[in-house]
Amino acid sequence: MSHESTLVTQRHFEYLAARTVGDDQFLKQLRADAQAAGIPAIDIAPEEASFLQILLMATKARDVVEVGTLAGYSAVAMARALPRGGTLRTIELNPRHADFARRRIAASDVAELVTLFEGDARVVLATFATHSADAIFLDADKAGYSRYLEEGLRIVRPGGLVLVDNAFAFGQLFHELPTDREAPAVKAFNEIMAKESRLQSVIVPLGDGLWVGVKR
Ligand code: DHB
Ligand code: MG
């Protein structure tokens, strides 16, 4: 390489995580209770949540859409970065996850900002108005990503953000025989993002890899 790139190791991740605003008591409890309730512990990393907040604050985002609520961790984190009167619309397919997240969000400090839509994002996103969001965050079934991206590009205003989790395919990006059945879908989606001319995007190596794109 003709330019300098430092290989980011586990130690670098630990180093930066130790120097990032971490979870407060509410988010720690949310993670612990979700795990105890049998919800997969696949929420985004605290440093990734902090970065999402920084992006939303820096761009003065007001209206955000999320695909894949899971337990509500990222919804609460992102809503906290919005101004008063801001909105966060989050979509969850799994009724058990939606039920958990709905209660947690209601008990959070950002309950008034967040609306949970229970159902298939393919159906719900179609009901959202064009250019009605400043940012969209995709963190759901990977086979659906290309479809969600297409809808996201309609819903997000020009200059808005398209953010997508798991660009590193759960750590299996370079595995020849990945054990995760969604890993091939992530790889295919990464190629779509790399070629998507309506966005200027880069993978930020936080958590399991976060695509950050600006809609041109
Ligand atoms: C999985 C999904 C995610 O969104 C994530 O962040 C980690 C893992 C999964 O489906 O395995
Ligand atoms: Mg994810």
- Residue 96 CB: number of other CB atoms within 10 A? 11
- With 60 as the cut, is the pLDDT of residue 118 above it? yes
Is residue 50 one of the residues assigned to a domain?
yes
Residues 6+ apart with CB under 8 A from 207: 44, 45, 47, 48, 165
Phi, psi (rounded to 5 degrees) for 81:
-90, 0
Is residue 2 one of the residues assigned to a domain?
no
Residues near ion ligand 2 (CB < 5 Å) are 139, 165-166
What residues line ligand 1, using a CB cutoff of 6 Å? 42, 139, 165-166, 170, 180, 182, 208
- Reported as a single tens digit per residue, the pLDDT across 144-169 is 999 999 999 999 999 999 999 999 99
Is residue 66 one of the residues assigned to a domain?
yes
48 CA distance to ligand 1 middle (Å)? 14
pLDDT band at 1 (very low <50, low <70, confident <90, very high): low
- Reported as a single tens digit per residue, the pLDDT across 23-62 is 999 999 999 999 999 999 999 999 999 999 999 999 999 9
Mean pLDDT, the chain, as a whole number?
97
CATH code for the domain in which residue 34 is found: 3.40.50.150
Model pLDDT, residue 3: 82
Distances (CA, A) of 216 to 56, 68, 176, 196: 17, 25, 35, 11
Q: Do the beta carbons of residue 104 and residue 72 sit within 8 Å?
A: yes
Q: How many domains does the chain have?
A: 1
85 CA distance to ligand 2 middle (Å)? 27
Is residue 1 one of the residues assigned to a domain?
no
Is residue 40 one of the residues assigned to a domain?
yes
Range(s) of the domain holding residue 119: 10-215
Identify the residue whose tokens are 């969604």: 182
